[in-house]
Structure formats: structure tokens, C-alpha cells
Structure 1
Amino acid sequence: MYPDRVEKRGVAKRAGIIEVAELAGVSRQTVTRAMNDMPGISAETKKRVLEAAEQLRYRPSRFGRELVQQSTRSLGLVVSDLANPYFSELASEVAKVAIANEWSLVVMEKHPGPESGKEELRALADQVDAAIAYADLAAPDIDSVFGSLPLVLLDTAEQTLDALSPAHPRSALTIDLKPGLGQAIDHLVAGGRSRISLVDIHYPKGESVRSSVYTRLMRERGLEPHVITIESKDDDLAVGRCAVEIALRAPTPPDAIIAFNDLSAFGILKELKVHGVSVPDTCAVVGIDGLRIGVYVEPELTTLRLDFAAFAQLAFDCVVQMTNAPVSKPLPQIRKHAAHQLVVRQST
């Protein structure tokens, strides 16, 4: 660890411009010039400064972070859609954890798509000390956008994690779907259901993991899987309504539907009511997420609940471990997992 770094309130003091100048053997003014691509220094000196900044994980801020207390740290949170209650509930819990640990929080909304928001993400990475992100980017783009920033990726595909450059270790927090989906299927079977369909959303990057997990779980129980695949839409409620239209055209409609998420489950409930299908008597409905609003729909939604508070704490714990790592060693690459819990309500 750099000799001038100290620990305070469980957080290592981050290296500043003075430490970079000392390591590079230059003045503070030279560091400023190098980091801001200003004239007046040689290419060799600039290279030495940038290498020292990389080694110390120094991240300058155009907002003058050098003027604030060194114990204050900033965390970036990247989500897909703050209008979606899933992301707003998660952001709320991350904010609570950050405030309790005296970190400031910057929230950015990145719309789905591997080409969207790259420049905005780079700007965010320049302003924060670490980030927690839903980032549907290819592995090379993750490395080019976030650089050496300590980064915790949320619910990212294993193949993407495996393809990340070892030069910049990343941490990841994933959701293990198997325990929760297994609970849901067993609950439905115990209630006499046998024609259990899953609603899946087809994204450009491919099929969701839940489809393969669901199919395996169904076959393990001697049941025939049936996946209703809907093309990606901006409106998850519409996904649910489209799924019902497809399900009811089948020769033998399902007697239970596991939705892609809670929002699509709300659309399913609405469309089943429009078609005069009784829930849960004729068709049971299960959501995934455990949104608070699930108790305010009719009937109240049975769901696979994610503990947002625990999920946020797990992600923040990864951030702390990464930012406290000695600069003389690579960032730790942490892998943690969360799982859903079945919450039974009126829709089953």
C-alpha cells in the first residue's frame, strides 16, 4: 500500500494529486497538465504521470474533488430504466447503504443496447471512485469504458465475465435463478398445475438464462416446458399482455404462467381479466422481482422476491473490498450470488 494512505472509518484514504506527483517525480502542476492533456510537457513525462496515476488508481475530477475531504468517496450506480420499479427500488437501497457509509452516490440511467450510453458511462467513470452497474456491454467495451475503475457488475452473463481482460479485474453479483424457480414450480405443481408456461423476452444478445433454467427444472420434474418468447419491448406491461394473447391461442392453454418479471405479470393479470380468465382458479400467475406494488394489484401477486436491501449491501461490500485493496496488488475479483425467495399471495 502507498505509504501515505491511511484507513479511516473502514475506508482507505485514496491517493491524490500529491501522491501521483511524488511517484512520477514531477510537480503537482505537471500532473494537472498531464491529466488534462495540456501543452507544456513532454510525451515521456506525460506517459510517466499517467502510469503513476494508473498505478495509484488516481481519478481526477473536474468538480474539484481535491478540495473535499479525502475520506469522502463517490459511487456510481448504472441502471437501465428508473421508471421501472425494479431499478428505482434497487437504487433506493444502494443510496441507503452509501449514505450510511458516508459515500456520495451518482445514479445514471443507461438505456438497453450494447451501443447506447458509452460516452455518458465514460464521463461517469471519470467522476467516481467506484461503480455498480447493470451494463449490457460486450467485454471489450466494458474495459474501454470503465478502464481501471473498481467495478461491480450486476447480473451479467457468465460468458461476458469470462471474456473480460485480466488487466482490469471486475467483481460481479449475479442472481441464481434455480432456487426460486424451483420453489415456484413445486408450489404450482402442489396446487394441481401441470401446464406451466414461462414468459421470456428475446433480446438482441440472445435468450435469457431463465429460459434454460426453467426448461431444466421442468424436465427434472417430468413436466413439458413451454416458453412464450416475446420480442424485446420498452413496456414490460405490454410483454405480459402479448404473452396472454399467445397463450390463449394454444390448443391447450396453460393453467399457470411464470412471468418474466413483476411488471409483465401485472400485464398478464390485466389481459387474463379482459379475456374473462379467472385467476387463480383457471390460471395461476407468478411474478419475478418482489416489487412492493405487488400487494396493490388484484389479486395480490405471488412472486419470487429479491431482497433489494441485501442485494445492495452485497454489491457495496464488493466495492469496499476493491477500493481498499493495496495499490501494489491487483484489484480483487469477487464473485457473489443472490437468490429469490417465493412469496405466496392470491394469484396462485
Structure 2
Amino acid sequence: MANRKEVQRAGILEVARLAGVSRQTVTRAMNDMPGISVETKRRVLEAAEELRYRPSRFGRELVQQSTQSLGLIVSDLANPYFSELASEVAKVAAANGWALVVVEKRPGPESGRAELRSLAGQVDAIIAYLDLAPHDIDGIFGNLPLVLLDTSEQTLDALSPSRPRGAVSIDLAPGLTDAVDHLLALGRKRIALVDIMYSTDESVRCGIFRELIRERGQEPTVIKVEVAEDDLHVGRRAVEVAFSAPEPPDAIIAFNDMSAFGVLKELRVRGLSVPETCCVIGIDGLKIGLFVDPELTTLRLDFAAFAQLAFDEAVQLSTTNVSSPLPQSRKRVFHELVVRQSG
């Protein structure tokens, strides 16, 4: 069989660059939708012909069903945190007449790039959890409106100011303050935080926790656990480490609810009572926390409000002229301490 040079088909972003318009304008022109001038439509169609661009059938079907479509990027839909968030985003998108496309982007800067580029050519805006470097974010998504969830300030500061970008971050400080003060009021003397070790420095929650504990006259205890196959195993390993110490903790704030479930499991296996021997507090407020024994005390995130705020940001960005985008928007949400049986 003769060797043939593989030719990569041009995408919607290439057409948009050649025509000097947004990808949304390309979508309108290719689907004969209102809202663009005759001259702009001609320029788009000529660019598409020059690049031999052919819209995907999937993309055309999305446009026919809804004039606008939203992408959601999460790392693992099997994790209840992301599935609860996706459910709320789906509800708010449907209520506003937007189609929703959900993509999993597994952890690791090199994973899932092809899927992300494909998504960028199919939707009008994206809400995303991403672990990419700023230049990769701008390179993959270009002028597509993008709302980043719970990302670092360093990443936001490094993004191109000419791109339509927004962010909704989770401020852990108020919730952790309530959790620490609650445990101190219960008379707990040795409060520990479970922190997952990544290749970067310690987590934001770890820094907040250390400061809170020291401000209250105690020495912070942080149980650092390497990334395991899942967060349940992180919690179980944290208990193994904590209770091998000369003075084990009498309260544990887990990295999240899933790791808190692992903490509860391992404490029970060891015959240690909760909350009598050790209080346990999770972070996230997953619905399943009501169905473990004892019911989990947690810092609850309002997923519905989180999703609505992110969606509103995406809509605002998508209605902004890409030649003069809004100043980068940064919104915050907070946790609420919900006291149940575990602490």
C-alpha cells in the first residue's frame, strides 16, 4: 500500500482565525443563522472553502437543537463530587435552553488534550476544572469563553488578558475557621488535617489550617498522604499514619468527604469510636454523607449556587465581543459547617 501523507482537517478555530471572527460567528455563518452581516458571512464561507472545513455532524446537531451549547470539563464522573456538580450544571443549562456536553479530563497535564480541542470546536462556552499550564489553556481554548473552577490565583494571573476568561473559586478559609473553632469548643486538643501530596507545594487548605491552629495557640498536625487509587484509601492511610504516632489526634479534618469516609472506615476497623475517641469532619457536603454511620459532619458546598454562578459567568463572557473582552472576572463561594454525628 502506498505511503500517503496524513492531512489533518481544519477545525472551526482555524476558520475563525483566517476570517478574523469568533468561533461563534463561524457557527452562525455555517448554519445560516441570523445575527451576522452578509459580508461577514461571505468572508467566513470563503475561509471555510479555502481550508476545506467541514462541520462535524455532531456540531450541526447541537446547533439545530439549541442556539447555544455549554461544555463542562471534570476529572472523574465516578467521583460523587464531580457527578453532583455535573448534575447541577445540567439543570441550570437546561433551564436556560443551553445544550450541555460533558468531558472527562483525567489528572495530568498531557492527558486528554485531543478531547479538549474537540470540545472547543463544538460549544459556545466552557466551565472547567483544569490542571493545565496557562499557556496551554490559552493555546487550546483560544478566544472561547472559559470559566475556570477552583483554580489558583497564579494560574489566573498568567492567563492572557485579551481572552474571555472568568473564574469561580472556593474560599476555604471561612469554613475551615468554623470547623477548627467547633472542634476546639468540643475540647479537642490535637486536631489534624489530612493533606494529599502532589508534585507541587502543600495545598491551600494546609496553609490555611496551619495559620488557624497557630493563631489559637496550638501546633498544627498535618497528615500528608500520597495520592492513592482513590480518596477512600487516602483516608484509611491517614488513620494508619496518625495512630502510629505517640500522641494520635482526637479530631481529623479530612481532605474531602470521600477521604473522610475512609477515615471512618479505618477507625471502625481499629475499634476506635467516633466521635468519642476521634471526631471526623469532611469537606464538600456530598449527599452520601447522610447515609454513613455515623453521619458525617462536613463543610458543605452549595453545588446549585456554585453551578449557577459559573453558568452566569459563562453567559456573560459568551455575550462579550472577543475584540474587547471584559476584565477577567473572579467570583468566590464558601462552605457552610454542617454538624452531624461524627463530630
How far apart, in 1, do the equivalents of 2:260 and 2:61 lie? 48
1:33 is aligned to 49
Match of 1:9 in 2: none
SS of the residue corresponding to residue 340 of structure 1 reads strand
C-alpha distance in 2, partners of 1:238/1:66? 42
Structure 1 residue aligned with 2:298: 303
Q: 1:101 to 1:218 in 2, by over 3 A?
A: same
Identity over the aligned pairs, expressed in percent?
66
Q: 1:35 and 1:205 mapped to 2: Cα distance?
A: 42
Aligned counterpart, 2:39 = 22
- How far off is 1:35 after superposition? 5.2
Against the structure 1 CA distance between its residues 20 and 229, is the aligned structure 2 distance closer, same or farther, given a 3 Å change threshold? farther
The match for 1:92 among 76, 79, 87 is 87
Alignment-derived partner of residue 319 in structure 1: 314
3-state DSSP class of the match of 2:130? Answer: coil
Query: Cα offset for 1:26?
Result: 3.5
| DSSP 3-state at the match of 1:86 | helix
Q: State the alpha-carbon separation in 2 of the partners of residues 67 and 185 from structure 1.
A: 48
Q: How does 1:181-196 map to 2 (within 5 A)?
A: 181-196=176-191
Q: For 2:271 and 2:249, how far apart are their aligned partners in 1?
A: 15
Q: Sort the Cα spacing of 1:36 and 1:70 in 2 relative to 1 into closer, same or farther, 3 A.
A: farther
SS at match of 2:77: coil
Distance 1:26 1:284 in 2: 65
What does 1:60-71 correspond to in 2, within 5 Å? 62-65=57-60, 68-69=63-64
Q: CA deviation at 1:261?
A: 0.3
Name whichever of 286-295 and 16-25 sits farther off.
Answer: 16-25
Structure 1 partner of 2:274 = 279
Q: Which secondary structure state, in structure 2, belongs to the residue aligned with residue 63 of structure 1?
A: helix
Shift of 1:115: 1.3
**Offset of 1:274 from its aligned partner?**
0.8
What is the deviation of 1:172? 0.5
Q: Quote how far apart the aligned CAs of 1:90 are.
A: 0.3
Listed one character per residue, the Cα deviations across residues 264-321 of structure 1 (whole Å, up to 9, x for unaligned) are 0000000001111110001000000000000100100000000000000000010111
Q: Gapped runs of 5+ residues in structure 2?
A: 1-23
Q: CA contact under 8 A between 2:190 and 2:249: conserved in structure 1? A: yes
- Contact map agreement 2:162 2:324 (CA 8 A) in 1: no
In structure 1, list runs of 5 or more residues that go unmatched: 1-13, 39-59
The reply to whether residue 102 of structure 1 matches residue 119 of structure 2 is no
**Residue of structure 1 equivalent to 2:16:** none
Amino acid at match of 1:144: G
Q: CA RMSD in A?
A: 2.0
Q: Distance in 1 between matches of 2:261 and 2:297?
A: 11
> Separation in 2 of the partners of 1:273 and 1:288?
20
SS in 1 for 2:58: coil
Residue of structure 2 equivalent to 1:140: 135
Q: Give the deviation of 1:32 after TM superposition.
A: 2.2
- Compute the TM-score of the two structures, normalised by the length of structure 2: 0.86
Is structure 2 residue 192 aligned with structure 1 residue 197? yes
For residues 63 and 24 of structure 1, what CA distance do their matches in structure 2 show? 22
- In structure 2, what residue type is equivalent to 1:33? E
1:132 and 1:253, CA in 2 relative to 1: closer, same or farther beyond 3 A?
A: same
Contact residue 79 and residue 133 of structure 1 kept, 8 A: yes
TM-score of the pair, normalised by structure 1: 0.85
